[in-house]
Amino acid sequence: MPIHFNETTKEFHLQNDGLSYIFTIIKNRQLGHLYFGKRIHHRESFQHLFKTQARAGMSNVYEGDLEFSLDIIKQEYPAYGTGDYREPAFHLLQEDGSRTTQFEYISHEIINGKPGLIGLPATYTEEDEEASTLIVTLKDTLIEAEIELLYTVYETRNVITRSVRFLNKGEQRLQLTRSLSANVDMFDADFEMLQLSGSWSRERHVKSRELISGIQSISSTRGTSSTQQNPFLVLKRKSADEHQGEVFGFNLVYSGNFLAQVEVDHYDTARVSMGINPFDFNWLLGPGEVFQAPEVVMVYSSEGLNGMSQEFHSLYRERLVRGYWRDKERPVLVNNWEATYFDFNEEKLLNIAKESKELGIELFVLDDGWFGKRDDDTTSLGDWYADRTKLPNGIEGISRKITDLGMKFGLWFEPEMVNKQSDLYEQHPDWIIQVKGRNNSHGRNQYVLDFSRKEVVDNLYKQMAAVLSSSPISYVKWDMNRYMTEVGSLALPAERQSEVAHRYILGVYDLYERLTSEFPYVLFESCASGGARFDPGMLYYAPQTWTSDDTDAIERLKIQYGTSMAYPLSSMGAHVSDIPNHQVQRLTGLEMRGDVSLFGMFGYELDITKMSREEKEEVKQQVSVYKENRRLIQNGTFYRLLSPFDENGNYVSWMVVSNDQKEALVGYYKILAEPNPGFKKLLLKGLDRNKEYAIEGRQWSYFGDELMNAGLMLDNEYSGSTKPQEEKLGDFRSRIYKLKEIDK
């Protein structure tokens, strides 16, 4: 039983082979935090871990007691206004104007398995034995409101998930102005905080800083999780690195505005909080209503950042992504966006498809520009029917011609958006997110549909379902190309205007849920100008995300490396594109581009018909290498070896090892050539020390322990030899090493 409750000491201990998480009911019947970290033995009492003490300047709860102060006590779900001056986990405005509450423990329940969240994505279990869930109920009797804190501990994963429900069982109209999903008061602040930050085209770069006194936070107010900051935060010990040391990872399963912060207080403890961004959020919780806050996934690793990432990866691959495509090999695709942009007709598309098919590509994806009268980005979003001047036989015609070639067909949508030049906008100008009497800002000439309204979601469902059911469509790319402005809904009363951003996300999840249930064999790939909504919330519905609009191989090294901190290779769309690269104009060889994309969900984003015969041969080869290795890439254990974010980030490397450790694939990348450098080797990871591995293209075989300790000696062309392989010299070069256990 991984959850213990001690009746006498009122302690909860969530425990599995890797971690322990312990808290207790304290004197004021709130919850005090005792420990989160590596597994420790269970014992009859952990009260010695609870510390409080009389200190000058403290506010105390009870008369005659100078010790019990919330200022110094570590807590599970801290409230505002009773002596704890750190930022609280929630804030509840009552009808009399008070924000002071007194939520006290009243009961708890321990159940097998993991309950779903109301209207929100979450990790799940398939068998009840996989996890246990503790639900602790706190009650404020004055206002008859309850808070349910849910904790799930997985048996065999170093993961705890948390979420929160607010229940208004009284008569008052309560206002939730803050309702975070988790709060963890760490014992000390001796950590670095690592985050994934960026912008369009340079998403999820790894940044870190030492914690210092005060609040350090990342957040989004853009209506999506955003490229600027990802809803992901890591606390790592300063001595920890990729391969060893203590690391705590936190990831919010949510696709909208979020807050992730660490507050270091005057006693040098670190309070981690995560949840929906309280900025511009106010949820009216009427009598009888329930508010569900999203889930936080918390990972503990004593094996460095790679150990943490591997926990996130396997959890997301196996117990977040759902449905038919979860365990299926993903198709190699060709997407026409960078090949044609808006300028195509049926013939052009079919030519690309035909040649792609000959090279082994399995799925043709028709991107933006197929609907309404969309010849540029000023028009037609909202009108999801084919442009007959480009596609005289409609989607039905082109999709059938492509499937007749023996390929699958995929289609692009941007369901959440509308252009003013569209039938939909003409009929329903009130359906966009807007504030009456104010200007509507646009992004890329488009406006955000008000997905907080059911009739809007219904309309989009109807339009999309009609297209998907009329044609053989196996894949949908669901795009979302702008952030929110003038956030308001014409359908909601004044007092609910600050609910719009969250209601919008609930609407997006609702549409995803309906479409994925109605079309269970369609593979969904989410996208938001590339990676502006790369988060676990999306992965629950769409197993893949378009990692970035930046397809340059060198930029992708950073983007894919950073993304892998939290997200598995099976979630990262990675395509080979044309040169000069459309985002940065860089020239890199086809080999380098292929070798970077190999570590993701592979495809092409260029006009195959314009390639030379030699290039096509190379593409054919790349596709076949990918197919041989895709199971390994999709399901294997991923290790980052050399970081592009290191001071000398000129060499980048990563590898993936099969679960039976019989094979592995290593990617090694050189950014700029160096004159006459020293010899280099790679210390591989994750192999079986006793297995003997052959490496394709090499004469010798090597034991796992040699490759992991003495290392894999790299070829001399990297180090100024006199007889180098010409093609390996120069900037932007790569090598792939395939390891296979030798059958004896």
Question: Could you tell me the smallest distance in angstroms from the CB atom of residue 513 to ligand DGJ?
Answer: 23
Q: Which of 386, 340, 382 is nearest to 364 (CA)?
A: 340
Alpha carbon 490 to its chain's center = 31
Question: Could you tell me the smallest distance in angstroms from the CB atom of residue 336 to ligand DGJ?
Answer: 10
Restricting to residues 380-419, which ones interact with ligand DGJ according to CB under 6 A? 412
Q: With respect to ligand DGJ, which residue has the nearer C-beta, 480 or 736?
A: 480
* Interface segment toward ligand DGJ; rule CB under 6 A; list 464-472, 523-531, 535-543, 634-642: 523-531
Q: With respect to ligand DGJ, which residue has the nearer C-beta, 148 or 605?
A: 605
Question: Could you tell me the smallest distance in angstroms from the CB atom of residue 367 to ligand DGJ?
Answer: 5
Q: Which of 517, 539, 419, 418 is nearest to 468 (CA)?
A: 517
* Interface segment toward ligand DGJ; rule CB under 6 A; list 388-396, 522-530, 638-646, 647-655: 522-530
Q: With respect to ligand DGJ, which residue has the nearer C-beta, 246 or 535?
A: 535
Q: Please count the other Cβ atoms lying within 10 Å of the Cβ belonging to residue 699.
A: 6
- Residue nearest ligand DGJ (C-beta atom): 368
Give the separation between CA 437 and CA 225, rounded to whole angstroms. 28
Question: Could you tell me the smallest distance in angstroms from the CB atom of residue 401 to ligand DGJ?
Answer: 22
Restricting to residues 64-83, which ones interact with ligand DGJ according to CB under 6 A? none
By CB under 6 A, name the one of 71, 148, 185, 368 that touches ligand DGJ: 368
Pull the structure tokens for residue 311: 């926990």
Q: Which of 283, 313, 289, 290 is nearest to 301 (CA)?
A: 313
Residue 292 · residue 117 · CB < 8 Å: yes
SS3 letters across 208-263: EEECCCEEEEEECCCCCCCCCEEEEEEEEECCCCCCCECEEEEEEECCCCEEEEEE
Q: With respect to ligand DGJ, which residue has the nearer C-beta, 77 or 483?
A: 483
Restricting to residues 146-175, which ones interact with ligand DGJ according to CB under 6 A? none
Q: With respect to ligand DGJ, which residue has the nearer C-beta, 479 or 591?
A: 479
By CB under 6 A, name the one of 362, 367, 416, 591 that touches ligand DGJ: 367
- Catalytic residue selected from 71, 383, 535, 549: 549
Sign of CA dihedral 552, 554, 556, 559: negative
Between the alpha carbon of residue 38 and those of residues 129, 373, 601, the distances in Å are 22, 59, 34
Q: Quick check: helix, strand or coil at residue 128?
A: helix
Size of the site for ligand DGJ (CB under 6 A): 11
Q: With respect to ligand DGJ, which residue has the nearer C-beta, 160 or 553?
A: 553
Question: Could you tell me the smallest distance in angstroms from the CB atom of residue 516 to ligand DGJ?
Answer: 20
Contact letters for ligand DGJ, residues 278-317 (x by CB under 6 A):
----------------------------------------
Question: Could you tell me the smallest distance in angstroms from the CB atom of residue 599 to ligand DGJ?
Answer: 19
- Catalytic residue selected from 84, 367, 387, 479: 479
Give the separation between CA 384 and CA 362, rounded to whole angstroms. 25
Give the separation between CA 566 and CA 554, rounded to whole angstroms. 20
Contacts of 630 (CB under 8 A, 6+ apart): 329, 330, 602
Question: Could you tell me the smallest distance in angstroms from the CB atom of residue 547 to ligand DGJ?
Answer: 10
Contact letters for ligand DGJ, residues 524-563 (x by CB under 6 A):
---x-xx---------------x--x--------------
Torsions phi, psi for 312 (to 5 deg): -60, -45
Q: With respect to ligand DGJ, which residue has the nearer C-beta, 2 or 372?
A: 372
Q: With respect to ligand DGJ, which residue has the nearer C-beta, 410 or 507?
A: 410
Give the separation between CA 503 and CA 450, rounded to whole angstroms. 9
Task: Mark 57-94 as b/e (b = at least 16 C-beta within 10 Å).
Answer: ebebbeeeeebbbbbbbbbbbbbbebbbebbbbbbbbb
Q: With respect to ligand DGJ, which residue has the nearer C-beta, 151 or 546?
A: 546
Give the separation between CA 338 and CA 336, rounded to whole angstroms. 6
Give the separation between CA 87 and CA 69, rounded to whole angstroms. 15
Question: Could you tell me the smallest distance in angstroms from the CB atom of residue 353 to ligand DGJ?
Answer: 18
The full length of the chain comes to 744
Active site residue 549: yes
Question: Could you tell me the smallest distance in angstroms from the CB atom of residue 545 to ligand DGJ?
Answer: 10
Restricting to residues 473-512, which ones interact with ligand DGJ according to CB under 6 A? 479, 481
Between the alpha carbon of residue 141 and those of residues 97, 105, 138, 314, 667, the distances in Å are 17, 11, 10, 42, 60
Using rule CB under 6 A, residue 11 touches ligand DGJ: no
Q: What is the pairing mode between strands 333-335 and 363-366?
A: parallel
Restricting to residues 323-352, which ones interact with ligand DGJ according to CB under 6 A? 337
Q: Which residues are catalytic?
A: 479, 549
Interface residues toward ligand DGJ, by CB under 6 A: 337, 367-368, 412, 479, 481, 527, 529-530, 546, 549
